Amino acid sequence: MGFCKFSKFSFLFLISILFVSTAEENARHGNDRVALLSFMSGVVSDPGNSLEHWNSTNVHVCNWSGVSCNHERDQVVQLDLSGRSLKGTISPSLANLSSLLVLDLSKNFFHGLIPPELGSLFRLKQLSLSWNLLQGNIPSELGFLHQLVYLDFGSNRLDGNIPASLFCNGSYSLQYIDLSNNSLSGQIPLTSKCSLRELRFLLLWSNRLVGQVPRALSNSSKLQWLDLESNMLSGELPSDIICNMSQLQFLYLSYNDFVSHDGNTNLEPFFAALFNSSNFQELELAGNNLGGQIPPIIGDLSTNLVQIHLDDNLIYGPIPPRISNLVNLTLLNLSSNLLNGSIPPELCRMEKLERVYLSNNSLSGAIPDALGNITHLGLLDLSMNKLSGSIPDSFANLPQLRRLLLYGNQLSGTIPLSLGKFVNLEILDLSHNKLSGIIPGEVAGLRSLKLYLNLSSNHLHGPLPLELSKMDMVLAIDLSLNSLSGTIPSQLGNCIALEHLNLSSNSLEGELPGSLGQLPYLKVLDVALNQLSGDIPSTFQASMTLVAMNFSFNKFIGNISDKGAFSSLTIDSFLGNDGLCGSIKGMPKCRKKHPSHLVIFLPIMVTLLATPLLLMFVYPLVCKSKFRNRLAVVNGVDFEDEEEERKELKYPRISYEQLIEATGGFCASSLIGSGSFGHVYKGMLGDNTKIAVKVLDTKTAGDISGSFKRECEVLKRTRHRNLIRIITICSKPDFKALVLPLMPNGSLERHLYPSHGIGHGLDLIQLVNICSDVAEGVAYLHHYAPVKVVHCDLKPSNILLDQDMTALVTDFGIARLVRGVDETISANDSISYTSADGLLCGSVGYIAPEYGMGKRASTQGDVYSFGVLLLEVVSGRRPTDDDEGSSLHEWMKSHYPHKLEPIVNQALVRCSPGAMPTSCDKIWRDVILELVELGLMCTQYNPSTRPTMLDVALEMGRLKQYLGNPASMSTGEPSSKDVAHLITQ
């Protein structure tokens, strides 16, 4: 009986416990829902955003987008809403998510203050609010988060001091701290009472921090990444602190007020402190006014070192030859110091060097021939030194060289003919030296030059080489202050991209070619101090682009008007030309001539006699023109508009009827592609020319005329082997088409996703070559085209492949020309799109996130699209495949770097249609990993942190070369701060 009573009591007690426990769980579950709904009430999201499901009572809170729960008790343990374009404030109600372990609201547009209440989330391990618009102080209450491992408030607008409790809260778990790119002030609050022994990343760059690096940081012996650059820190370089950091890889102390030891005279203790860091990779000490010599022991640092930045300091003495022991170095920057002595020939042992900056020092002696053995060298800047002797012929052995800067030295001799062998050179600056002789035609004909050629202030003589006319992509040519003679070739008018031309202070004679005034983008012309004669051609006055001209001190004659391009000029542009007169202020007025009776009589007689003859020929032409225009109206063809466009674009005539015949009446069997702007048909002209006809759909494309003219404008102003060329146009009021060459291998999309036997898979070598071609083409649009262009719709279907599988970028219908005012507009500026402007967004999956926020089209947006393309090529996934609820970028980032093996293995299978030799396996793996890293760099959320398309093209070229010659690849690890951010997420 007693046992039964006890059992009954126990049963009732157990039931009551379970009831109370269940009630508590329900209450806690309800609290989580209430907290999240309260948070959402202060958030504004775009229509279609996944947060809309939060309002549904039918969806369990654990199934809400961005919310994760534990499986045992259905408690919210993770809230990850990063990169969702959310606006509003962060609600203190999040503090009621008592079981929260991860809170990530990064890469949004939250403003206001960080709620102090978040300090009550005692279980929190990861807190990321970076890349928002948060203001005010960092709450000291966050020091109560004793379990915190990861803290990221970078890239906000926070100010005030860093609370001491944040670093000194008794927590021994913190591994990652990022407070960079804010306006924080005061000292780094780390004292001897604090210990951050698990800390691996400390990023405080770009703030207003003062004082010395705290000695207590030496306890953080596991530190791998220390970035304190761009602050106002002072004191001696922290040698005694970093000597304990054996795992240190990246050290950035640039742009502070540090000094070296022994009264700013001794750098040796600092470099000796880095000996223990066996995996050290990057060192930045620029802009600190550091004194002392570079100690020879610098050569004893880790051979993993890939970059050294010591520029903009007060370092003196010679460059120690032992620095050449750093055989994996890719970048060496010692510019803007007080270095003297000669350049060590031993630098040639650093075979992986890609960029060398030694400018603005006092280096003397000859340029070592051995520098020509650094075959990966892409940039060599030896300018503003005291170098003498001749330019080495060995430079011709540098196939990757893009920029050679030797100006401001005492170099003599002639310009080597061997410089004409450069195939990638973009800048050649040999100005302000003592070079003599003629300008070699081989050098003048460098078609690869895209930025500028500067040979000014030398002792060059002889005529201007006709080969200069081959530089059809160069933006500036400066040959001033030499002894050049002869006439100015009219063929210089072929340099169609030229913006600046300076031929002043020479001995040039003859007439000034009118072709120079017809250059479509010429802004500045200086031909002063020569012996030019004759009239100044009217083309200069009629120019729509010239804004500065100098014709002074020549022998020009004639009447000068103050109209057109001359309206902004003063007498200073015409001084020293006694034969000039006109209406420019300060210029003598031209005398009016009094014609004789005979001069008046003759034209009248000629006119009277000629009129009947003229009428005989002109009247039929007028009638024919009227008849043709009347016929045009009957047939619905606006011939005047078409003639105007055709005259401007200078394309051959292909009639509408010819296009109908070529495409079989635009029948379905000729259709090879469709898009938002219309359809593309294949066809063949009567002369067997295969064509593709892009017919714009006037019913669905919105501002079809604008799109048509945009694409015509882009195609007519650009010329590059990786950009589609246009054959002609066909334009009627209700029909507009572009006629393009037919690409026999179709689009990249067809090969990435072959179906129904159409297309085939591409191997890795082909894919890298194609991506390299695309990068080169877009880099040209961004950096070198006469009118800079943002493509705005880069994707596989807009990449065509010719018979040699060379890639050509096409479809410029929504491209944005950025010449003029657009060049000065930040990518972060807001813009209210019209219906036509809205087309700038591009295609879903490839659109840069800032476009969704109403930002202007920018080159960074194209870089983002290219990054998506790289990730698509590697993964084999379309960016619109969201099976896992995340973008392609987020999906790939979630696997980087430790979960990439399955992706790499699948890529190897997919990109190896045939049997691949075992020896290639590692090489191809390396390339795939590099493509992933480059894709992630290009798709970073913040546009300003993405690389330029020029950098991307250089990297793709390096990978392309590596596949052909694996020994050429640098083994340095990724070196960007942004990569570090990717690694730690």
Active site residues: 793
Number of helices (H) and strands (E) in the chain: give both, helices first.
19, 52
Please name which of 742, 873, 863 lies closest in space to residue 808, comparing C-alpha atoms: 742
Please name which of 66, 67, 173 lies closest in space to residue 123, comparing C-alpha atoms: 173
Q: Establish whether 694 is an annotated binding residue.
A: yes
Burial of 424 (0-12, 13-18, 19+ CB in 10 A): middle
Please name which of 691, 695, 665, 668 lies closest in space to residue 680, comparing C-alpha atoms: 695
Measured CA to CA, the distance from residue 335 to residue 315 in angstroms comes to 10
Measured CA to CA, the distance from residue 746 to residue 739 in angstroms comes to 16
Which pair of tokens denotes residue 242? 């970093």
Task: Assign 557 to helix, strand or coil.
Answer: strand
H helix or E strand, kind and range, residue 357: strand 355-357
Instruction: Give the amino acid at 744.
Output: P
Task: Assign 282 to helix, strand or coil.
Answer: strand
Measured CA to CA, the distance from residue 440 to residue 204 in angstroms comes to 52
Q: How many CB atoms lie within 10 A of CB 368?
A: 18
Measured CA to CA, the distance from residue 461 to residue 981 in angstroms comes to 55
Instruction: Give the amino acid at 277.
Output: S
Measured CA to CA, the distance from residue 123 to residue 103 in angstroms comes to 11
CA atoms within 13 A on the CB side of 39: 24
For 336-356, the DSSP string reads SSEEEEPPPGGGGG-TT--EE
Sign (positive/negative) of CA torsion 496, 497, 502, 507?
Answer: negative
Measured CA to CA, the distance from residue 432 to residue 902 in angstroms comes to 57
Measured CA to CA, the distance from residue 78 to residue 159 in angstroms comes to 28
Measured CA to CA, the distance from residue 82 to residue 305 in angstroms comes to 34
> Does 537 sit behind a cis peptide bond, omega within 30 degrees of 0 on the bond before it?
no
Residues sharing a CB contact under 8 Å with residue 944, sequence separation 6 or more, in sequence order: 827, 828, 860
Measured CA to CA, the distance from residue 644 to residue 711 in angstroms comes to 16
For 412-457, the DSSP string reads -SBPPGGGGG-SS--EEE--SS--EE---HHHHT-TT--SEEE--S
Torsion of CA 199, 201, 206, 210, to 10 degrees: 30
Please name which of 175, 170, 179 lies closest in space to residue 125, comparing C-alpha atoms: 175
Show the 3-state SS of 36-95: HHHHHHCEECCCCCHHHHHHCCCCCHHHCCCEEECCCCCCEEEEECCCCCCEEECCHHHH
Sign (positive/negative) of CA torsion 897, 898, 902, 905?
Answer: positive
Please name which of 240, 187, 198 lies closest in space to residue 222, comparing C-alpha atoms: 198
Q: How many CB atoms lie within 10 A of CB 655?
A: 10
Which pair of tokens denotes residue 420? 């004409």
Task: Assign 267 to helix, strand or coil.
Answer: coil
Measured CA to CA, the distance from residue 753 to residue 876 in angstroms comes to 8
Phi first, then psi: what are they for 282, rounded to 5°? Answer: -140, 140
Measured CA to CA, the distance from residue 45 to residue 673 in angstroms comes to 35
Measured CA to CA, the distance from residue 161 to residue 173 in angstroms comes to 22
Measured CA to CA, the distance from residue 582 to residue 679 in angstroms comes to 57
Binding residues for ATP, as ranges, are 694
Binding residues, as ranges, are 694
